[in-house]
Every structure is written in structure tokens, then in C-alpha cells.
Amino acid sequence: MVKQSNSLHLPESVPTKLQSTDRRPSSIMFAIKDQKKGEEINSIRLHKRRKRFIIKKSPILISMNSSILNLPTLKSEDRNNKWKSLYQIQRERKRIMRETCSKYKSNNRRIITPYHVSRIFVEDKYRVLYCEVPKAGCSNWKRVLMVLNGLASSTKDIQHNTVHYGNYLKRLDGFDHKGIYHRLNTYTKMLFIREPFEKLVSAFRDKFEHPNNYYHPVFGKAIISRYRVNATKEALRTGSGVKFKEFIQYLLDVHRPVGMDIHWDHVNRLCSPCLIDYDFVGKFESMEEDANFFLHLIGAPQNLTFPKFKDRHSNEERTTTKITQQYFAELSPSQRQQSYDFYYMDYLMFNYSKPFEDLY
């Protein structure tokens, strides 16, 4: 059992409401399956082989919200109204997230597996862990991480395919237990989220309203085959032309004809915020302000700001609240309610208002 270090702290002038009420030292332990009593391993070779397997594959046992790191301390010259206001917003977001976790998650000790950290990207130079949430600025955040890491001089120089398929950024699940443990306890952990319905419509427009040689044949064909009455042979062959209502039928079906996808999965599942105590929670709706505040806090170069450009389909209008409402107007009240229920924990945990008045 190893005590976590407390290398970063909040300024004394900022209230410490968000700090955990559990005063006991947090800890992380490697969880190794218990061997049967009396069993002995006599072979050194077998022992070494087992040890390698355990280090790479076995889960980590971690206290829920166990990190005792917080946001880097504001410098005295930064304590103006703007920075203090953004700082307090962060504390409030973390408070709501923690309270939601405490209320709805029954166990205080849970297992972290490689799956739980598989969406987390690592930037070692500035000691940042970023949990990727698709359709919430993730492409541009990866560009920023690449610049921080010295892989590019400007975010404008990095193409979309380089960002997503170049494998230039390391993922946290690629490290052994020691590497994961060290980074979870000493790096600044952050994620950016987006209003769930808006994020969902953005994903639908991107993947199903434009040519796509993966989502149409893999998801589109299965969706049309299951939910469209009298589908044409062409639609069944290509999987193109999925309607939003059909997409929602797929999403809400407990016996989906094809599995989930990260672009419309819950943030609660993608980033496990009740297992990993994120130090910074940004929102797509206030992206520029939140992102540049985060870059300031970690000491990023002053000439590095968060990119404003739209990564894909740049001539198309971004998915807004108005556009989102237009898509959901195609659904029945029951489907809207079920969709809200589907993303209920994300709405609650990240303090988003109900998108329609008739929802309960």
C-alpha cells in the first residue's frame, strides 16, 4: 500500500469545500487474484511469467475519487476577478460531480481496469492526462497535446488523420501498473464534456449524414435492416440514409443489432469520473474560456491557445441547441423521455438542464 503524494494544492484563500470528507490517506493497490491456501509456486520461471502477466493485465484497486491532487495553485498575480471566477466554477463542477458519485455509486472502493483508462491520453512534458470525449472538442485537444509534447509547432499544422490515426499520443492503458499509478497520482487529469443531446446530434450528423466507409456499413446497415419497414435493397446494401428516429430506436434498444460506439456512449462510461478524480472539468459550451484557463494553469506556452477551427465538414454549421431541438422534434414524447433517461447520469453529474420542459 502506497500513500499518494500531495504535490499540488489549492490556495488558502479558496474555500476547500470540494476536498473529500474522508480524511484517511487514499491509496492504490495492485489487485492480484488470491491463490488457494497452501498453494506454493516452486518454479522460478512460472513465478516470473505470472508476475509479468499480473503487471500488464490485472486491475488496480483504487479508492473512489482518491486523488488528493487539485488544480495548480493560482499565482498571486493571477488572482484577479476573471481567474478567481473560473477557479470557483471548477470547484463547483467538481463538487457536483463528487456528490453525484457519492449518491448514486454504492461502493467507495472499486476496481480500475485497463478499460477504464483506455480513453485517457498522456502528455508527459506538462504532466497532463486527457480523457477523450468525442464530439466535445477532442480533435483539437489532441492537437494541443501534440504541440505541448513538441510533436508540432502549431495546431494548424496537424491534419485530422494525423490526429486520430497517427498514434503519436500515448494512452494510459499502454503503461504498466507502476506507470499508470504514477500518472494518476501526479499528473493533472482533465476532461471536456458537452450537453448530451447536442453531443448525440453532432455525432449523428457527422457519422450518418456524410459519406462514411465505416459507420454506414457497420451501423447503418444493421439499423436500417432492424428498424425500417420496407427498406429498399440499395439502403440495405449500403447502410446510407439512416434517419434520426431510426438511430434513436437503435440507441434505446436493449437488444441492439450492433454494439455501442464511443461517439454516443455515456461520458460516465468513457471516463469513469467516479473512479478517477479529475482535477479539471471543462465544457464545450464555454470551450475557449475553459481551455485557455486550463492551459494557463499548467504553464503552457503563452502563444498556445485552443484552436477555434471546425475539424470536419467546416462549411457546415456547428450543432447548436436550435439544431438539436429540430432533430428531437422528430421523436415522440416517449422517445425523448427515454433518451433523457439514457443520458440521465451525464445530465446530473455535469449539471446540465433538462433540454425539454415536458421531461421529468
Closest by CA to 352, choosing from 186, 128, 199, 142, is: 199
Give all strands (DSSP E) within 12-66, no chain letters. 27-30, 60-63
pLDDT < 50 positions in the chain: 1-58, 60-69
pLDDT at 34: 40
pLDDT at 305: 92
Q: What pTM was computed for the model?
A: 0.79
Which contiguous run of DSSP H or E holds residue 171?
Answer: strand 170-171
Cell of 269: 462510461
Block residue for cell numbers 428531437: 328
pLDDT at 17: 34
**CA 354 – CA 360 distance, rounded (Å):** 8
* Relative orientation angle of helices 196-208 and 321-328, to the nearest 10 degrees: 80
Residues 168/151, Cβ–Cβ less than 8 Å: yes
DSSP 173: G
For 188, phi then psi, to 5°, come to -85, 120
pLDDT at 260: 95
DSSP 209: S
**CA 240 – CA 219 distance, rounded (Å):** 10
Q: What is the pLDDT of residues 309-352, one digit of tens each?
A: 767 766 789 999 999 999 999 999 999 999 999 999 999 999 99
pLDDT at 311: 72
Plot region of 54 (φ>0 → left; ψ -120 to 50 → alpha; else → beta): alpha
pLDDT at 43: 43
